[in-house]
Amino acid sequence: MPYIRIRKTSLAVDVVTGRSTRGVFVPIKRDRSGSAFNDQLHYLVYFNVLYPSVQARDQEKGRRVKYKLIEPDPWLIALAAIMWQGLIQGLTWDVIKASCLAALSKLRKKNLAPPKPPQRVDTRKKRLAADSRTQIGFSWTQYGHAGRPLREFFLGVKREFRKRSREERRQITSGRKKT
């Protein structure tokens, strides 16, 4: 059975066919009868990441729904294992984030993770800094067959700014206040 192997020291990811004693192994198929570490990670991702994100979206829309979500994908469990190992080792968030992004790109090359969503190219003039939206951290979105987002997960700092009105922009560019 194929596994995603995470090396504990370097947090590098490989796809292997068998298990050995070194590293953290996440089964690619839905066989969860492995170590207690994988079972706990599966439980944490399932109930502390996926359910709250779906429930928050439903609460915003005023829905009260009882549901059972599908199990998290193995690549998501592997990213959680990388984050956990990085935290245990005392690594900085930048190193953990770089390890997660490297693992995600390697898993995308092996077709185990969803492809990158297409990025829109903005040919208009640069906007003011206050008009932009800044995200720092790890963001994951699962897309359906129709191209719409099904699940979203964000870990990090989000900062949003609103767009200024014409009067506020005139005041900023002219440097004077209207009374």
pTM check: above 0.85 = no
pLDDT of residue 41: 81
pLDDT over 70 (residue 91): yes
Interatomic CA distance for residues 113 and 4, integer angstroms: 12
* Choice between 120 and 115, residue whose per-residue pLDDT is larger: 115
Q: Where are the domains of the chain?
A: 3-115+129-174
pLDDT over 50 (residue 128): no
